[in-house]
Amino acid sequence: MKTPGDTGFAFPDWAYKPESSPGSRQIQLWCFILELLRKEEYNEVIAWQGDYGEFVIKDPEEVARLWGARKCKPQMNYDKLSRALRYYYNKRILHKTKGKRFTYKFNFNKLVLVNYPFIDMGSGRGVPQSAPPVPTGGSHFRFPPSTPSDVLSPSEDLRSPGMFSSVARRLGRGSVSDCSDGTSTNSELEEGVGGEDRGGVGPERAFRGLLHPRLSHDSLFRAYGGPGGLGRPPPGHRVHGDPMSPFPVSPLPGPGGLLGPTLSPALSMTPGSHLPYTPSPSLSPMLGSHFSFNPDDMKRYLQAHHQSVYNYHLSPRAFFHYPNIVVPQPHRPSAAPDKPMTAHHHAPPMPHSHSLHHHQGEEQHPSPFKFKLQPPPLGRKQKDGSASSTGGSSSSLGSCYAASGLLSNSSSVGPKIKVEPVSDVESDEEVEVTDISEEDELLDDGEGDVFIPPHPTNGTAPTAIINGNLGAIVEDDLDEDVFKTPAAPPMGPLTPSLLGLKSEPGQGPPISPGGTLCIPLKLRFKRRWSEDQKMEADGEREEAEDKKVRAEKQVEPARRESENGEGPRTSLSLSLHAPPPPAQRRASSELQRATAQLSLESHGAC
C-alpha cells in the first residue's frame, strides 16, 4: 500500500507493477493518464472526450511534465510520452484517435465482459470479485480499489469515484510527484467525491455526482447500468433509459470502474492481501485469482452485468440474462431493499483498509476460477499476418485488470469460463456468457434476503450468456471497432451441433429462444475444465477452431464428454430457464462438489 500522506498522486497499489515484476512498483503511464483524467484539476490538461475511453491531451507538455515529474524524469516531453503511449497501441491498451490531435482512446473493449470469476461453489456463495465491466461512457474512469477488499463486490464501484486524488487535490497541480519513489504514493486518497465539481459539465460529468459510497440498489444499477454518458446503446436495447445514464463507474479499474474491481491489479499486486482468493501476489493476476462470492453480490453482479452488456452494446446474445434476476430499471428503485448490498457499502470510502470482506476472509473455499490475461496484441506486422491468436499473457494490463477478471483469459490454468466467437463477424463482441443461473440458485440457498423477481423485466428471452474468455474474441483487432455496436449475433452452425449436449436425460437440450441450450453447470465446468486443461497442454489456442469443428461432429451427449473429462472446446451458448428443474437443482449440488474438486485440482495445477 502506498503510504498516505505522500506527496504526489495517490496511486493505488494496483497501479504499480507487482514486485514480482522487475522494475515493478512503478506507476504505469496508462494508469497515470487515467488518474489525471479523473481529476478535475487536470481537466485543462487532459480530459475525456468523445467516445468511450477517448481522451484528449489538451496540454501535451503539461501532461508530459506531470508524467516526468511522476517518474522523476525532468527531461520528459510529449514526444517521449507519446512514444510510451504508442507502445500501448500494440498492447491495445490505447489506440490513437485518428485525425484528432493528442487524442487517444482507451481500449476498454478488451477489458470488459471478459472474465466472470463467478462463483465459488464450494462456499455456496457468489460474491463477484469483479465488478461488471461498465464503461463510463467515455467519461470518468476510476481506479480500482487499492485493496482487494475494495474489489470484492461491485458495490465497491459505487463508492466515491475518486480514490487517489484527494492528495493531489491538496497538493494541487504541480505536485504530481515528489519523486520520492514511484511507490510511495498513497492509495488512500480519495477525491472523496468524484462528482463534486464535475457535475454539469457535459455528459460525462453529468453523472459524476450520482454515485454515492452507499448506493442504493437503484443506484447500483444506475452505476452499472445506464448506457453511459456517451451512450451508444444498442439499438432497441436500451435499458430503460435513465436519461442521465450515469455511468458512475468507469470502464477502467477503479472503484466503480470498468476495470474497476475487475482490473484491480490490487488483487494480484498486493502481496499480503489478505484475501483468500488473492492469487499469489507475484503471479499474473489472471493466473491465480480465486474468487468467492456471496449470493447478493452475485446477483448484483449479474444485474450489473446485465446492464453492462447494454453498456457495451453487446449483441443481445451476449446479454447476460439471469433467469432469476431482474435487472432493476436504472431509474426505478428496487422493490426490495438490498440488504447485503448495504453491507458492502458500509465500507468506508477509504477502503484501502486491509480489512476484507468478512465473507472473504471467512470463506476460504478455493475457487476454481483462475484467470489469465489475454495475450498481448500482435504488432501491426504480426496482426497483418495472423488473424487471431490467443494466448499469452499480458502484463501491465494484467496487473491492473486481471485480478478483477476483466481481461480475457484466453487460457487459464484452472477452469475458466470461456467464450468463443460464434461467428467471424464482429467476433470481437460476439461473446457468449456463461450462464450461472444455477450458481444463483446455490447462492440463494443460504441467503434469501434478497428478493429476486422470477421474471426478467426486459422481456428478453431468458438466455444466459456465457462469458468468460473474451480474450479470444477481443483478441481480434479492436483498434478501430472497439466500441462499435455489435452486429446481431448470428446463430452459428455450432449451436445445432450442441444439441447433443443435453444435460438432462429425457429433457433434451432445451434451446432457449436465443438459440442457446441448457446444460448443467457441472457439465459445463467440467467441460471447461477439461478443455482448459487440454488447451493448456496444447498451448495452442489456435486449436480452438479445430476443436470447434470437432465439436460440430460431436454426436455424443455432453454428459459423456463431461464424464470423460474431455470434450471439444466448443462454443456454448447456454440458457437456463428459471426456475431450474429439479434435476438442475441436483446438478447444483453436484456442481458445488465438482467445483470444489475442480478447485482443488486447479490448485494442484498451479
Partner DNA sequence: GCCGGAACCC
Partner DNA sequence: GGGTTCCGGC
Q: Which of residues 397-426 bind DNA (CB under 7 A)?
A: 397, 399
Could you tell me the smallest distance in angstroms from the CB atom of residue 167 to DNA? 21
Candidate segments 80-88, 262-270, 418-426, 596-604, binder of DNA by CB under 7 A: 80-88
Using N-to-C axis directions, what is the helix angle for 437-444 and 582-605, rounded to 10°?
Answer: 100
**Count of residues interacting with DNA (CB under 7 A):** 42
> Which listed residue (5, 379, 565, 579) binds DNA by CB under 7 A?
379
Partners of 308 in beta bridges: none
Q: Does 534 bind DNA (CB under 7 A)?
A: no
Torsion sign across C-alpha atoms 81, 86, 92, 94? positive
Candidate segments 186-194, 378-386, 405-413, 504-512, binder of DNA by CB under 7 A: 378-386
Q: What is the CA angle 133-135-138, rounded to 5? A: 160
Q: Does 29 bind DNA (CB under 7 A)?
A: yes
Could you tell me the smallest distance in angstroms from the CB atom of residue 307 to DNA? 31
Could you tell me the smallest distance in angstroms from the CB atom of residue 24 to DNA? 8
Residue 544 burial (CB < 10 Å; 0-12/13-18/19+)? buried
| CA-closest candidate to residue 225, choices 235, 211, 236 | 211
- The long-range contacts involving 212-215, CB below 8 angstroms and separated by at least 24 positions, are 212/158, 212/160, 213/158, 213/159, 213/160, 213/345, 213/347, 213/348, 213/349, 214/158, 214/342, 214/345, 214/346, 215/155, 215/158, 215/341, 215/345
> Residue length, the chain?
606
151 contacts 68 by C-beta, under 8 angstroms = no
Query: What x-and-dash track marks residues 179-218 binding DNA by CB under 7 A?
Result: ----------------------------------------
HEC sequence for 444-486: HCCCCCCCCCCCCCCCCCCCCCCCCCHHHHHCCCCCCCCCCCC
Q: Does 60 bind DNA (CB under 7 A)?
A: yes
C-alpha 55/C-alpha 195 separation (Å) is: 18
Q: Does 443 bind DNA (CB under 7 A)?
A: no
Q: Does 98 bind DNA (CB under 7 A)?
A: yes
Q: Does 73 bind DNA (CB under 7 A)?
A: yes
**307 vs 395 by CB, closer to DNA:** 395
**103 vs 485 by CB, closer to DNA:** 103
Distances (CA, A) of 192 to 48, 202, 260, 351: 20, 20, 17, 12
> Which listed residue (67, 301, 310, 483) binds DNA by CB under 7 A?
67
Could you tell me the smallest distance in angstroms from the CB atom of residue 27 to DNA? 7
End-to-end Cα spacing for the chain: 26
Q: Does 22 bind DNA (CB under 7 A)?
A: yes
Query: What x-and-dash track marks residues 100-139 binding DNA by CB under 7 A?
Result: xxxx------------------------------------
Backbone angles phi, psi at 56, to 5 degrees: -125, 140
Q: Does 96 bind DNA (CB under 7 A)?
A: yes
Partners of 286 in beta bridges: none
**115 vs 396 by CB, closer to DNA:** 396
| CA-closest candidate to residue 442, choices 225, 23, 124 | 124
Q: Does 78 bind DNA (CB under 7 A)?
A: yes
**402 vs 466 by CB, closer to DNA:** 402
Could you tell me the smallest distance in angstroms from the CB atom of residue 373 to DNA? 9
3-state secondary structure of 106: strand
Helix (H) or strand (E) holding 254: none
> Which listed residue (9, 30, 141, 529) binds DNA by CB under 7 A?
30
Could you tell me the smallest distance in angstroms from the CB atom of residue 10 to DNA? 17
> Which listed residue (11, 88, 319, 483) binds DNA by CB under 7 A?
88
Residue numbers at the binding site for DNA (CB under 7 A): 17, 21-23, 26, 28-30, 60, 67-68, 71, 73, 75-76, 78-84, 86-89, 91, 96, 98, 100-103, 376, 379-381, 394-397, 399
